Chain A
Amino acid sequence: MKTLFSKYTFLFILAAAAFSCTDNEIEIDPTASLTKISEGFAIGAATKVEVWSDQELFAGYNNIFIALYDSVSGNRITKATINFYPEMSMMGGMKHACPLENPAMDAVDKLFQGALLFIMPSGDMGSWKLDIKIQNPSNNKTGMASLSVTVANPTNACMKSFVTDASEKIFVGYSFSKGMKVGVNDFEVMVYNKVGNYEFVPVENYSFVLTPEMPSMEHGSPNNVNPTYASQGHYKGKVNFTMTGGWRLNLKISQGDALVTDLYFDVEVE
């Protein structure tokens, strides 16, 4: 009697386990570590557009992640042509855009990744809006989502600009693709030339000498790798931090043999 009971109990537990496992797999939410910036509808393409980023938007290089859903069915759309149209309306009436990188047509991990290098913060000077054009290949419909966004002014400048001898207006931003930590860090610098209010062209022929230092202690770190050109205005290098605290990333920018300018970015390593 006793053994029969325990045999059925065992079978019951086994069955229950089997049933509970057959349903949906656990989905890892791709936006788990991201911050939602805004959402809207691309009317005409029947698509809901969500804009995500690593943190609240700021004046500097921002990774932008777009999640698209079919407005009717609610299903995710993982293939679309996306174009960004950022625009700042200045107080004086002038409008301008900023350097941008449109996402690829195929979503990676259910998100479309692009970038925006905001060259000014929102505030007294003006306000930003972000229009996003979606073209859905499955039904060939096109629509535009119009979102207003707030671009914060960070404590430490994440974007710097200068005018060259040839009167070019250059904008420089940076990004730590894997975050900043004590140790060896992947580091990228992005450089764009403003040829028009709405046209920013990647600069491809600069060279950098990167010298990080801690201003309060006047010491640097060894074995850094100067950023060298990769693609799309991005220069890739490595920054080494030997301790937490305030660091200054000095960048000496040259074109060929001629010095273009010296600038720096202050960062807080935690």
Chain B
Amino acid sequence: MRLICCLLLFVVAGVRAQTVDTLHTFYLSEVVVKSAIQEGDTLQNFFRANKSATTEDILSRLQGVYLIRRGNYGQEPMLRGMTGGQINLTIDGMKMFGACTDKMDPVSIYIEPQNLKSIQATLGSEGSKLGTTVGGSVDMQLAQARLSSKPISGRAGFGYQSAWNGFNSYANANYAQQKSAYYVSLNYRKADDYRAGGGEEIPYSQYEKINLSANGKWAVGQDTLKASALLDDGYNIGFPALPMDVGSAKARIYSIGYQRFRLHERIQNLNAKIYFNSVFHAMDDSHRKNVAMHMDMPGTSTTAGGFVEGNFHPSGKHTLSFRTDYFNNQVLAEMTMYPEGASSMYMQTWPASGRSDIGFYLNDVYKINRGTQLLINGRVDWAATTLKEGFGMDQLEVFYPNIQSVNQHIVGAVNLKLKQLIKSNWIAELHAGYGERLPTLSETFGFYLFNRYDGYDYIGQPDLVPEKNWSTDLTLNYFTNRVQVTATGFYNYLPDYIFSSIHPELSVMTPGAHGVKIYENISSATMVGGEVSALTNFSKNFQFITAAKYTRGRDFEGTPLPLIPPLTINTTLRYSVKNFNAQFENESASLQKNINAAFGEDETAGYSIFNLRSGYKINWNKKQLLVNAGIENLLDKKYHNHLDWGNLPRPGRNINVTIEFVF
């Protein structure tokens, strides 16, 4: 149950269901979307930190998902220790790439919970459906217009957070007719600098953003046509752990789609889409004091693509799903520096470059018998990475005189999973798989990218080979009417792990940097760990849930990898009766002493913080008023997580109130 909720935070409508119906529980490593959870279900609130939470906050509650924090907004998702190019972060099946060389904009930053229908996270190489991967994938599925007998429905809300004097206001509406429907949403957030535990104000942590989305759906006979647009503008977003903030971050996401539930007796859930998205991101240091040299750093990233996917039932026991997709991503990031008394200096930190990729994916779920299921999937991607001739290429010729304009790679993944029902209340799942991932454009062509975490300038390496992952994991599920326990252990062996090495012969570009590193493939790295969760309804009104996650990452010499999260345990006790619910939460992390000192890491102390949340629902006349109030970090503790850059403290006591009207 916990696992359904993990995913089903919002209304789920018309999503294709995994056909594991006979086995009515779901799996930790793959959070599966299943229908029939109503909007506003009380269980949702377990996993939604508060009603004004951001998309990343919601993500971080999923098993195996962690967040890297550089400020109070725009955290970067991590799956079991893997991040960046090691994972796929997609929106409704569409590929999208950030435009910031400093990773300030993982694409989740452009999506508000108001835009979402559900989030599907698949850990490991099994998550290769949307792109061959080693770490897994997170697909943020957007809320769609719903054909409904109720002509107008929607919600509007306002929330306030005391720790950053922030407010979040939102509204969405669905207008439905028999054969067509429209959905619009509007979201506006603003926050000042936040207060850490103990009262310290963290400067440069403010943010402001506005998000607008609209989509339409038209049923034409058996076909459904869809069109969608999402616009997200962020202003003055502070990143206190970095030397610069964001002056402006604008994303535009457009798509038109076609859907057909039943094309043929054997072909179902055909879904096709053509899309385009663009990101403009400008870093800004004008608010900072004591800047060594003022810089302008704008970046752009545009992606166009399309896909076709569907299910195919060749025989009763097999369900095949297939997907074929294409995308083309073009980026450019520039830097202009303004020294005193000298002419301005210009260079391209991401030269004009791009990647185009065609992929094909096939997944077979084979129901061997009532209690046994075998899942096989595979994906292959053919990718061309191009460096455009001109300024950017000339720059890189300084390091790589024979740099090629075009590089091609073929990468693939293959996975096998056996699910076995044992004794009617145990399910075991054993998975083995192989996956690869392409190096990112940053890792390939980056030019003096300053990494505040270790204080080095990074240079790309055009000859990087894809990173690989040989992985296996075992999951055991135990369930009764009142209790569910799930435990997973995983092992990933990653040859050609993409890392970096110091080049002492090179002089730094960024004033104050410790040196220059160039990306390289190292012999290998390994990651092991697991997740355990237990959920129990121990009385009519009480529910108790606890979830722990642990990852350990080392390189081939046994040195811990940087940015590996410690043991994290989330525990919640929830009380609900009629229209009222309250929950008491604890988030604990252990000491992280497996650190990479060469990377500038220090040990991070363990911590334990408490949250209290409550909600009250008033129904009248088929409408609802929801009032949610809570206190996060009840004891105003000053703490930070190992993944928080620069040991940036997290917010102190935060009193939040949200009022939502549902119609």
A residues with a Cβ closer than 8 A to B are 181-184, 213-223, 240-246, 268
Contact = CB atoms under 8 A, between A and B. Distances in A.
Contacts of A244: 343-347
A217 B347 contact: no
Contacts of B341: 216
B483 interface: no
Contacts of B505: 222
A216 B342 contact: yes
Given A219-B507, A220-B507, A240 B398 contact: yes
Contact of B343 (A218, A240, A242, A245): A245
B506 A222 contact: yes
Interface in B338-385: 339-347
A245 B398 CA distance: 16
In the complex, which of the residues A217, A222, A268 has the most CB atoms of chain B within 10 Å of its own CB atom? A217
Given A217-B511, A219-B508, A220-B507, A245 B394 contact: no
B581 interface: no
B316 interface: no
B558 interface: no
A217 B394 contact: no
Given A213-B507, A244-B345, 20 more contacts: A182-B395, A183-B395, A184-B401, A215-B342, A216-B293, A216-B341, A216-B342, A217-B511, A219-B508, A221-B398, A222-B398, A222-B505, A222-B506, A223-B398, A223-B401, A243-B335, A243-B347, A244-B343, A244-B344, A268-B343
6 contacts: A181-B394, A184-B397, A217-B509, A242-B347, A243-B335, A245-B343
B509 A242 contact: yes
Interface in B295-348: 335, 337, 339-347
B391 interface: yes
Interface of B: 293, 335, 337, 339-347, 391, 393-395, 397-399, 401, 447-448, 505-509, 511
A245 B397 contact: no
Contacts of A216: 293, 339-342, 345
A223 B397 CA distance: 10
A222 B516 CA distance: 11
A210 B397 CA distance: 18
Nearest to A213: B507
Given A243-B345, A245-B344, A184 B394 contact: yes
Contacts of A268: 343
A210 to B, nearest CB: 14
Name the residue among A214, A219, A223 with the largest chain B CB count within 10 angstroms: A219
Contact of A245 (B345, B393, B448): B345
B302 to A, nearest CB: 24
Given A244-B345, A245-B343, A182 B508 contact: no
A70 to B, nearest CB: 44
Contact of B345 (A181, A214, A218): A214
Contacts of A182: 347, 391, 394-395
Contacts of B395: 182-183, 242-243
A2 B342 CA distance: 73
Nearest to B396: A183
A220 B347 CA distance: 14
A217 B343 CA distance: 12
B398 A243 contact: no
A242 B337 CA distance: 13
A242 B398 contact: yes
Contacts of B401: 184, 223
Nearest to A184: B397
A245 B335 CA distance: 12
Given A217-B511, A222-B505, A242-B509, A183 B394 contact: yes
Contacts of A223: 398-399, 401
Contacts of A220: 507
A200 B648 CA distance: 66
Nearest to A211: B507
B210 to A, nearest CB: 35
Nearest to A239: B398
Contact of B342 (A213, A222, A242, A245): A245
User: Which 8 residue pairs across A and B have the least CB separation, nearest first?
Assistant: A183-B394, A245-B345, A243-B347, A216-B339, A240-B398, A216-B342, A244-B346, A219-B507
A214 B391 CA distance: 19
B504 to A, nearest CB: 11
Nearest to B345: A245
Contact of A217 (B345, B391, B447): B345
A238 to B, nearest CB: 9
Contacts of B340: 216
Contacts of A214: 345
A171 B393 CA distance: 36
Q: Which of A216, A218, A221 has the most CB of B within 10 A?
A: A216
B243 to A, nearest CB: 15
Contacts of A222: 398-399, 505-507
Contacts of B394: 181-184
Contacts of A240: 398
A86 to B, nearest CB: 32
A219 B509 contact: yes
B339 A217 contact: yes
